[in-house]
Amino acid sequence: MNRFWKRALALADRIDTLTWAAGKLATALLLALIALVGWNVLGRYLVGGGSVALQELEWHFLAPIALLGITLLVLENGHVRVDMVYDKLSDRAQTWLDLMSMICGIVMALLFIKYSAGFVESSWSLGEGSPDPGGLPGRYLLKAMIPIGFALFALQCLAKAIRHAAILADRSTAP
């Protein structure tokens, strides 16, 4: 394997490490979300009410869980594909299809980043918070997860694309 592919695969390894870290954060947030929902339900039924801020905090946790989780799914090949068709393809055709799907993922992620930038910028400039009394300030932080999450998704698609391209360039390279 030549020097280019060694460097490219080393970059893919670093991206994978970043994705694993994001996945650990998503896991911690998921556990916190489960506890928070339980607390909110108990508060509603035992005390007869709950905090608007704690209810809003649920989706402040949910957004990063979803956006970071999709990135981890790409790393672990947990994303959706039509396996009954895919499994009938040759290994080389599967690798080509995987490479093309990762390129499409990168393009899609970049479009999400581009079209969410103004939305997020507006929210940040306003210092947007909850419109509800007792709600959370800093809604702009939640909205900022959109381009951050899709940037991580684009990077992970790039890492996978590098691996698939390396396989196509040198059949001895492991995925």
Chain segment 140-172, per-residue pLDDT in tens: 999 999 999 999 999 999 999 999 999 999 865
pTM over cut 0.85: yes
Q: How many domains does the chain have?
A: 1
Task: Judge whether 175 lies within some domain.
Answer: no
Closest C-alpha among 54, 76, 72 to residue 64? 72
Q: Domain residues for 147?
A: 3-169
Residue 112 within any structural domain of the chain:
yes
> Tell me, what's the pLDDT at 44?
85
Tokens of 169: 């360039």
pLDDT tens digits, one per residue of 11-67: 999 999 999 999 999 999 999 999 999 999 998 888 877 788 998 999 899 999 999
The rounded percent of the chain whose pLDDT value lies above 70 is 97
Please check whether residue 174 lies inside any domain of the structure.
Answer: no
Q: Residues 127, 131, 136, CA angle at the centre, nearest 5°?
A: 65
